[in-house]
Amino acid sequence: MTTDVPSLIRLLQPLREQGMTAVQAANTVLAQFNTGSAGARLADAFGPQVSLVQALVQVYAPVTLPEMASILHQLYPDLGPVAVGKILLAPGVFPHTTAEQMQSALVSAGFSPAAVTQAIKELYPAPPVQEPFAAIATSMQGGNRGIELWVAGTPGQVWTLYQRTPGANWSAWEGPGFKNQPKPLMQLAAALQNNGNVLFAGLDGAGSVWTCGQGSPGGDWNAWSGPNVGAQPCAFEQLAASQQGGHRGVELWAAGADGQVWTLYQLTAGGAWSHWEGPGFKGQPTPLFKLAAAQQNNGNVMFWGLDREGRLWGIGQQSPGGDWGAWQGPGFVGQPEPFTAIAASEQLGNRGVELWGIGASGQLWTLYQTTAGGPWSRWEGPGFKQQPAPMKKVAAALQNTGCVLLWAVDNDNQLWQIAQGSPGGDWAGWTRTSPPPQG
């Protein structure tokens, strides 16, 4: 016997003429098939179930959505509301059913309201929100250019914007897609390679690392490397980068879903990569899920991460390009509240590295070294320099003038910037930057 729709109609039609209900007729047909493999296919497989319902809709027309939902629930009592809903939405059944209609039909068929509510979420998934700034990263450039910013929207296409001259004269947005990027990128990081050339890195949807480096300070870019740069040991979800002092080049940190941090660095500035070290960075005391790193204005890097509770942990190098000291945390230097995002930048002048964290209300807090590699200021906040709105993303870097530029994205997906007026000095006002062109 075959289970195509015309064959099933031929079986169901005389049963209706005998006065059988749809449920009775369907059960009779199922019993006829229940003598071998075809019966198992019809009773248990999604395709034959759809064929049977398509045939019932034609033979017992007119039949309403609630009626057919009830019929399905009686025919296949082991099926949950998601499976029943998928059959109802199949071509030739009720493919144009709205979420509200489906919810009412499934409840009337006898499914619990709670189960139906969950089923509707799966049957009618919300379209992804298109964020123009789903990920951001920034870095100082060498040569005659200033700072560069990269942003990726939810489709993973990267756009970039840079200062044509240090501290001023912005380019237009370039994109979508950065230098023929080979994959959509969901997490971004960037840093100088200690030879004046920037290294840009990103994670694709599979958690693989890709990198692209400048060919000269402030110049054009080389080919992409990836996926899985440096024989990557596992899929990653977070990424951070920093320039190093000494003879080494840029260092990358990455963490997977388990919060264990791995690291990879250039053995020489712009040169070959080390092996990934991990899992766990320098005996990290707890899983870390948001990462940031920057130099301290003495050639030594500091690295930070947020644990599951948003508590801040930090660790610093003991010499430029050298080994690392002990971890500090939780709640680095008296952290005032849990953070949801962090960023850091080296400062020039007399100060050391500066760190920013975003609290649950979107208010920025900041902390900096009062001397390069030295003691820390108190946390300042909530709110950074009269910030214009609650923020959800933040990135910072030097501008090639010695002044730091801080970027932030607010809850309405507006991009803001604020810059120091002098190296290690105070800050000018916030300004808003137009997003990349859409479409």
| Cβ atoms of 387 and 363 closer than 8 Å | yes
Integer Cα distance of 209 and 187 in angstroms: 9
Residue 42 pLDDT exceeds 80: no
Q: What tokens appear for 2 in the block? A: 């075959």
Confidence of residue 2 (pLDDT cuts 50, 70, 90): low
| 75-120 per-position pLDDT tens digit | 989 899 999 999 999 888 998 888 999 999 999 999 999 999 999 9
More confident residue, 390 or 49: 390
Q: What is the pLDDT of residue 46?
A: 67
Residue 340 pLDDT exceeds 60: yes
Q: What is the pLDDT of residue 45?
A: 58
What separation in angstroms does the CA of 425 have from each of 24, 337, 351, 356, 420?
A: 83, 26, 9, 16, 6
Handedness of CA 327, 330, 331, 337 (dihedral sign): positive
Confidence of residue 34 (pLDDT cuts 50, 70, 90): low
Least confident piece of the model among 49-58, 245-254, 389-398: 49-58
Q: What is the pLDDT of residue 96?
A: 85
Q: What is the pLDDT of residue 129?
A: 62
| 172-221 per-position pLDDT tens digit | 999 999 999 999 999 999 999 989 999 999 999 999 999 999 999 999 99
Handedness of CA 381, 386, 390, 394 (dihedral sign): negative
CA nearest 403: which of 150, 165, 151, 166?
166
Q: What is the pLDDT of residue 37?
A: 41
Integer Cα distance of 235 and 229 in angstroms: 11
Domain ranges of the chain: 5-123, 135-433
| 265-312 per-position pLDDT tens digit | 999 988 999 999 999 999 999 999 999 999 999 999 999 999 999 999
Residue 439 pLDDT exceeds 60: no
Count of CB atoms situated within 10 Å of the CB of 438:
8
Mean pLDDT, rounded, for 239-255: 95
Residue 389 pLDDT exceeds 80: yes
Q: What is the pLDDT of residue 154?
A: 85
CATH T-level topology, domain 135-433: Neuraminidase (2.120.10)
Confidence of residue 241 (pLDDT cuts 50, 70, 90): very high
Q: What is the pLDDT of residue 41?
A: 43
Q: What is the pLDDT of residue 437?
A: 84
Please provide the average confidence, as pLDDT, over all residues in the chain: 92
Confidence of residue 59 (pLDDT cuts 50, 70, 90): very high
Share of the chain above pLDDT 90, in %: 79
